[in-house]
Amino acid sequence: MGSGILEPFPLLPDQRPDLRKQLRLKRRDIPSHIQRKSAKDLLLHCRRWPDFHQARTVAFYLPIQGEISPLPLMHLAHALGKACYLPRIRPFPAGSLVFVRWRPGSRLYRQRWHIREPRHGGRREARGLDLVFMPLTGFDRQGHRLGMGGGFYDRTLAKLPQRPLRVGLAHDSQQVASIPVCPWDINLHAVVTPSGRTSFRAGASRRIPL
C-alpha cells in the first residue's frame, strides 16, 4: 500500500513515541498539491464503497499537521443526505469524545490544542453513529492504529466492538510493518488510503485497490 516505513524487527511499546514522532514529521512534509490529490482520491474511492453508502450517520474530523483531508468526502456525504458529525473533546468522562452535527457554514472554535471544534448543534454519542472516519499517525496490516497519543478515540470506542464502523484515513506512507500495541488500543475495521482500501474485519486483511 505504498511507500510506508517497514521496520525489520517488531517494535516495543516504549518505542511508540519515537515512531509517532518519525511518522508525524514525514506526514507534515507531504507537499500541498499531493495533499489535495490524496483527498480527491479518498473521495473517489469511498463514493463507491457500499459501507459508506449505507451509513446514515457519519463522523469525520478536521485535518491538522498533514493529516489526510476528509473534507471533500464530508461535503459529498452532506450532499447525499447523510448526517455529518465532528468530534468534540469533553471533560467528562475525562478525555472522551462526543460528536456534534456539522453542516456547511457551521461555526467552529479553536480549543486548547488548536484543533477546531463545533460547539453548537445536535450531539450524538459514538454508539449512535454508523461510521467513524478516524485520523491516525500510523497503521499496520493487522489493523492496529497509532494515534496522536491522547487516547480520545480509544476511550470513546472502548466498549463498542462492532458499531460504529471504525475506518482510518491515511497517506500510504503512514503504513508500517508493525504497530507496538498497548492493552487500551482499539483496532480499525478498515483503512482507506489514496491507493486503496483494506478491510480488517473477520480477522482477515483484504485489500481493494483504487
- The alpha carbon dihedral of 130, 42, 187, 26 has a sign of negative
Query: Does any domain span residue 157?
Result: yes
Q: 187-205 in b/e burial notation, b at 16+ Cβ within 10 A?
A: bbbbbbbbbbbbbbeeeee
Total number of domains in the chain? 1
SS3 content of the chain, % helix, strand, coil (to 5): 30, 25, 45
Contact indicator for 183, 151 with CB cutoff of 8 Å: no
Query: Does any domain span residue 185?
Result: no
Give the span between the Cα atoms of 54 and 52, in whole angstroms: 6
Which CATH number characterizes residue 165's domain?
3.40.50.10420
Specify the pTM.
Answer: 0.86
Give the span between the Cα atoms of 136 and 126, in whole angstroms: 18
Q: What is the pLDDT along the chain (210 residues), one digit of tens a residue?
A: 445 555 544 555 667 888 889 999 999 999 999 999 999 999 999 998 999 999 999 999 999 989 999 999 999 999 999 999 999 887 766 678 999 999 998 888 877 666 787 877 789 999 999 999 999 999 998 899 998 767 789 889 988 878 899 999 999 999 998 888 877 788 999 999 999 999 987 554 555 555
